[in-house]
Structure 1
Amino acid sequence: MRACALPRGLAILAGAALLTILAPAQAGGPEALYRAQCASCHGADRLGGIGPALLPGNLSRLSPEAAEAVIRDGRAASQMPGFGERLDDAAIASLAEWLYREPEVAPTWGRDEIVASHEVTHPDGSLPDTPRFEADPLNLFVVVETGDHHASVLDGDTFERIHRFPTRYALHGGPKYTPNGRYVFFGSRDGWITKVDLYNLEVVAEVRAGINMRNIAVSADGRYVMAANYLPHSLVLFDAHNLDLMKVYPVVGEDGESSRVSAVYAAPPRGSFIAALKDLEEVWEIPWPLPTEPVVATGHMATPLEQRRGHDTPNFQVRRIPVPDYLDDFFFDLDYDHVIGAARGGQGGMVVNLASGEKVADLPLEGMPHLGSGITWEHEGRRVMATPHLTRAAVSIIDMSDWTVIKTLETDGPGFFMRSHANSPYAWVDVFFGPNRDRVHVIDKARLEIVETLIPEPGKTAAHVEFDRDGEKLLLSLWEEEGAVIVYDAETLEEERRIPMSRPSGKYNVWNKTRYEEGTSH
């Protein structure tokens, strides 16, 4: 199958390239070295060009020592050359150290820069409406391969690879789908949003929303995309059809203090986006236009979205919800009535009612709970949620009726990802951090016990499970440069096959993500 025609040289963005040497001189210090060797592709202000941005926030996943190695040796599967024969160790170390310094003048990225970056390759509706493959389009998996900055599309029934295409450098926050599963949106750490037509395996449009972007969210009707930025401090709203800019929201408190945005989420029952703010004791809610069809009386309690109909609720206007602490990582109950947020420092969390803005409970969750990876299920007639911890070897299980911790499972190390499915009796959690990162635990959701610990390959990191649409099979990442996606039978826990991939991170099933399937993070 032919490759995607990617705009702006996207196919060569797979590495943190410092570009071709323009001159052998090493004099003048690291800033002069950067101007001579790097600026033509990474920009004079380090904001990126055909190469990624080289600012501290954008390099957070790369240690200074690793940056030196990239400069010296180059990066495989990219156009990043090795500089070891042209620059001595002192010059390389000096250049790497300089890249981790904040610029003297804070860079800007506003409306003009966003509009100038926008490119439409295939206007919405210009490509055929029939998939170019035989697979069930609602049971596809998109697998992000961070090793060489590609994405693979897998048939969720046969697990054959349908297509593989290059992506922007350092995708972050997980791809998001339109409700029909046809389009997928990728967000990169550098702020690029890329819309891909999965039926035709073609890029539709691209735009750069910021300099350091945390994630993106897509409205429940697939009409709007919102981006959350660390730099600049902003939320940015786009029309999803061709990624046309609609609005830039500077994130500023009532006292004039600005804030980084930790993440933005779509809340379908509320018909709104909800943003977590890093530096303000607020949660922001931004409603999108409601469907025009009338609400049919069913005898059930009206959802927040239904309550909005018939009222003059301005679309896309910010509703500020004061909260008692800085809330970072988020989790929501099924109806999006409550947000569960991790408090600053990771020592616990709190539950906030989104209608009143009042705190309804404190959660004693020490060890930096990774709430964004939390899941829920029914247990003995009540809804429970479970979350791993980033700095504690444990999984906490919480009764969502009264917000009490009903059980803590000790694990073989701090974990990052947790997954399940409504049709599976098991929940899976990795131990991503620490010496036992080659293990993954299987939890019996009825017994609330770890019943199996798998070691797919000793010494190799095992992480991030995603189920197929029916909960019968699941994929687990062997998170290595020469890694693989491993297919398991979800009932017998037996390994069935391995698909070689380059450091596969997240795997995202269309059905689970568009239907908000139980056990999948949203």
Structure 2
Amino acid sequence: MWRIVLTAAAAVLSLQYGQAWSADADVLYRTHCAACHGADRLGGTGPALLPGNLERLRKPAAITTIAEGRIATQMPAFKDKLNEEEIKALADFVYTPLPSMPAWGMAEMRASRIEHRSAASLGDKPVFKADPLNLFVVVELGDHHATILDGDKLEPITRFPTRYALHGGPKFSPDGRYVYFASRDGWIAKYDIWNLALVAEIRAGINTRNLAVSSDGRFVMVANYLPHTLVALDAKDLQPIKVIDVRDDNGKSSRVSAIYDAAPRKSFVAALKDIPEVWEIPYDDKAEPIFNGMVHDYKMGEGLAVKGPFPVRRIVLEDYLDDFFFDSRYDHLIGSSREGKGQVVNLNIRRKITDIELPGMPHLGSGISWELDGRPIMATPNLKDGLVTVIDMKTWKTIKQVKTLGPGFFMRSHENTPYAWVDVFNGTKDRDVIQILDKNKLEVVAQLRPSPGKVAAHTEFSRDGKYALVSIWENDGALVIYDAQTLKEVKRLPMRKPSGKYNVYNKITRSAGTSH
């Protein structure tokens, strides 16, 4: 009976939209795609599959993606499970509009909000004896939990359930007391680390990329794939403040790839997926934003796309930017598209100042920086090629392409170590290896194999740089803890697919060795 209902529904959609996909496409989708992308195609662990979200992926490329998988994502290849006709039917199906799009605005957000603990019920001191700034928040995707880990004793303090499929990395309040999580399906959670208590939750979108917390601790900004919005929340209680529709001057809407806090600028910076623009959004009420060298009162809206609270300062570019890296002063952002086209944008004069050599598919969001011979340099792993690109941040010229065992995902270091740690996460082999790069020699000088045959990824350092923690990215995984100087294993803690761990001090002080 269910097959008849699905087939009838497919036939109706085919007639309504003139699509040529098979009546079995809906069944194929539910069998092979729904677990990750949602039964309603609105997203889950994978992104929403709707025509508006697929504009940069032409149908022939979508057919290739279904058949061969997609690099740097969890999208597997289906060419051994589906024939050419079935793959084409699926591609036709996901390019078919839904009969109606669900609304998700202020009313829906307010109705979803849950207050777990009131501010009055929370103490103003940590309920544990560990250094509150040398804690790690460990995200365990295997069973959707998070662990608070003592960075000195290297022991768990507590473990608690999270929403399904957290994404984009947790972000901390400026004092390190609170941590904010975002899930793929739009849930934003505020957790009080000092009291080991969940404070509030709200669903800020249907399909969400990540969040950022303002450097003054007042606001949380959420980046959505669906709907195409940015959502400002009150960091105190997660009450929604404003929804910003993401559109260009011609009304074309866009998914938001990511949102970042540019602390020295007192602003958020958004990467847009479907229009070649970067948006800067000031949040300091007393700031005097600069537009083309002239000071304006942004209450007047001059040079702004959106007036009032959280005005939008647009930077129109020649190419899309899917990924960012900021210099230490946040005057420049270094960006690249998924196709590997790199450019440097000056945020003060609001324009590109130069192209940059970034072959393959650099993962700038995992880039790091340090000083070499008195000059600032940055380095980024590569999602497609086995190399690390090292760039002089004064001249924006490539210093060296360091060969690695294969394409990686995460690169990490610390101010107190001479090494940078790089994984081989996207390799076809050697995914169980962590490579150690000497930051002065710009050479790989050692390699570690924490658990032979199991994926090793995402190194993070303790507050003082003494320990380096590596994830064994498996359901029966672990945190493997190394002495960062001797590279000897110190301890390992069983974990359920620990996708990432985030040191409070390194994050709130914006360590050059970790992502921001």
**TM-score, L = length of structure 1:** 0.80
Output one character per residue of 1:312-338: Cα deviation in whole Å (capped at 9) or x when no partner.
334511111112211110110000000
Q: CA 1:54/1:332 → structure 2, altered by over 3 Å: closer, same or farther?
A: closer
Out of 456, 461, 466, the position equivalent to 1:462 is: 456
SS at match of 2:365: helix
Deviation at residue 108 of structure 1 after TM alignment: 2.5
Q: How does 1:170-209 map to 2 (within 5 A)?
A: 170-209=165-204
Out of 312, 324, 327, the position equivalent to 2:297 is: 312
Output one character per residue of 1:436-475: Cα deviation in whole Å (capped at 9) or x when no partner.
1111110111111111011112111000000001001110
Q: Distance in 2 between matches of 1:100 and 1:418?
A: 36
Deviation at residue 433 of structure 1 after TM alignment: 1.1
Q: How does 1:412-423 map to 2 (within 5 A)?
A: 412-423=405-416
Other-structure match for 1:447: 441
Other-structure match for 2:360: 367
Q: Distance in 1 between matches of 2:510 and 2:229?
A: 27
Give the partner amino acid of 1:425: P
Other-structure match for 2:6: 29
Q: Distance in 1 between matches of 2:181 and 2:216?
A: 18
Q: CA 1:125/1:520 → structure 2, altered by over 3 Å: closer, same or farther?
A: farther
Q: Distance in 2 between matches of 1:197 and 1:99?
A: 40
**TM-score, L = length of structure 2:** 0.81
- 8 Å Cα contact 2:172-2:508 kept in structure 1: yes
Out of 220, 229, 235, the position equivalent to 1:234 is: 229
Mark the runs of 5 or more structure 1 residues left unpaired by the alignment.
1-23, 69-93, 293-302
Q: Distance in 2 between matches of 1:101 and 1:169?
A: 27
Deviation at residue 288 of structure 1 after TM alignment: 0.7
Out of 317, 321, 325, the position equivalent to 2:319 is: 325
Other-structure match for 2:329: 335
Deviation at residue 476 of structure 1 after TM alignment: 0.2
Q: Distance in 2 between matches of 1:100 and 1:473?
A: 48
- 8 Å Cα contact 1:323-1:357 kept in structure 2: no
Out of 117, 121, 124, the position equivalent to 2:112 is: 117
Deviation at residue 52 of structure 1 after TM alignment: 8.7
Deviation at residue 110 of structure 1 after TM alignment: 1.4
Q: Distance in 1 between matches of 2:172 and 2:187?
A: 16
Deviation at residue 25 of structure 1 after TM alignment: 6.0
SS at match of 1:28: helix
Out of 136, 143, 146, the position equivalent to 1:141 is: 136
Q: CA 1:402/1:64 → structure 2, altered by over 3 Å: closer, same or farther?
A: closer
Deviation at residue 515 of structure 1 after TM alignment: 0.5
Deviation at residue 104 of structure 1 after TM alignment: 3.4
- 8 Å Cα contact 1:64-1:100 kept in structure 2: no
- 8 Å Cα contact 1:325-1:344 kept in structure 2: no
Other-structure match for 1:496: 490
Other-structure match for 1:15: none
Output one character per residue of 1:274-323: Cα deviation in whole Å (capped at 9) or x when no partner.
0011111211111112579xxxxxxxxxx989x99x96334511111112
Q: Distance in 1 between matches of 2:493 and 2:418?
A: 25
SS at match of 2:110: helix
Q: Distance in 2 between matches of 1:517 and 1:269?
A: 14
Q: CA 1:250/1:494 → structure 2, altered by over 3 Å: closer, same or farther?
A: same
Give the partner amino acid of 2:279: W
Q: CA 1:25/1:468 → structure 2, altered by over 3 Å: closer, same or farther?
A: same
Q: Distance in 1 between matches of 2:269 and 2:282?
A: 9
Identity of aligned residues (%): 57
SS at match of 2:133: helix
Other-structure match for 1:5: none
Q: How does 1:50-449 map to 2 (within 5 A)?
A: 55-56=48-49, 61=74, 63=76, 103-290=98-285, 312-314=297-299, 315-346=309-340, 348-434=341-427, 435-449=429-443
Q: CA 1:46/1:367 → structure 2, altered by over 3 Å: closer, same or farther?
A: closer
Q: Distance in 2 between matches of 1:225 and 1:397?
A: 33
Q: Distance in 2 between matches of 1:492 and 1:469?
A: 17
Q: Distance in 1 between matches of 2:45 and 2:441?
A: 47
SS at match of 1:186: strand
Mark the runs of 5 or more structure 2 residues left unpaired by the alignment.
11-25, 28-33, 54-65, 67-72, 82-88, 300-308
Output one character per residue of 1:244-279: Cα deviation in whole Å (capped at 9) or x when no partner.
100000001001111111000000000000001111
Q: CA 1:492/1:179 → structure 2, altered by over 3 Å: closer, same or farther?
A: same
Q: Distance in 2 between matches of 1:100 and 1:207?
A: 30
Q: CA 1:321/1:46 → structure 2, altered by over 3 Å: closer, same or farther?
A: closer
SS at match of 1:138: coil
Aligned residues, how many?
A: 453
Q: Distance in 1 between matches of 2:409 and 2:47?
A: 26
Deviation at residue 179 of structure 1 after TM alignment: 1.0
- 8 Å Cα contact 1:271-1:290 kept in structure 2: no
Deviation at residue 221 of structure 1 after TM alignment: 1.2
Q: Distance in 2 between matches of 1:53 and 1:353?
A: 33
Tell me which moved more, 495-504 or 54-63.
Answer: 54-63
- 8 Å Cα contact 2:149-2:158 kept in structure 1: yes
Give the partner amino acid of 2:385: R
Q: CA 1:493/1:53 → structure 2, altered by over 3 Å: closer, same or farther?
A: closer
Deviation at residue 414 of structure 1 after TM alignment: 0.3
SS at match of 2:322: strand
Q: Distance in 2 between matches of 1:111 and 1:45?
A: 22
Q: Distance in 1 between matches of 2:415 and 2:217?
A: 24
- 8 Å Cα contact 1:269-1:304 kept in structure 2: no
- 8 Å Cα contact 2:42-2:207 kept in structure 1: no
Give the partner amino acid of 1:454: L
Output one character per residue of 1:198-241: Cα deviation in whole Å (capped at 9) or x when no partner.
11111111011111111000000111000001111110000100
- 8 Å Cα contact 1:56-1:102 kept in structure 2: no
Give the partner amino acid of 2:476: E
Q: Distance in 2 between matches of 1:403 and 1:125?
A: 51
SS at match of 2:119: coil
Deviation at residue 419 of structure 1 after TM alignment: 0.4
- 8 Å Cα contact 2:271-2:278 kept in structure 1: yes
Give the partner amino acid of 1:223: R
Other-structure match for 1:7: none
- 8 Å Cα contact 2:113-2:200 kept in structure 1: yes
- 8 Å Cα contact 2:181-2:190 kept in structure 1: yes
- 8 Å Cα contact 2:188-2:201 kept in structure 1: yes
Deviation at residue 177 of structure 1 after TM alignment: 0.4
Q: CA 1:219/1:125 → structure 2, altered by over 3 Å: closer, same or farther?
A: farther
Q: CA 1:389/1:43 → structure 2, altered by over 3 Å: closer, same or farther?
A: closer
Q: Distance in 2 between matches of 1:353 and 1:47?
A: 35
- 8 Å Cα contact 2:368-2:514 kept in structure 1: yes
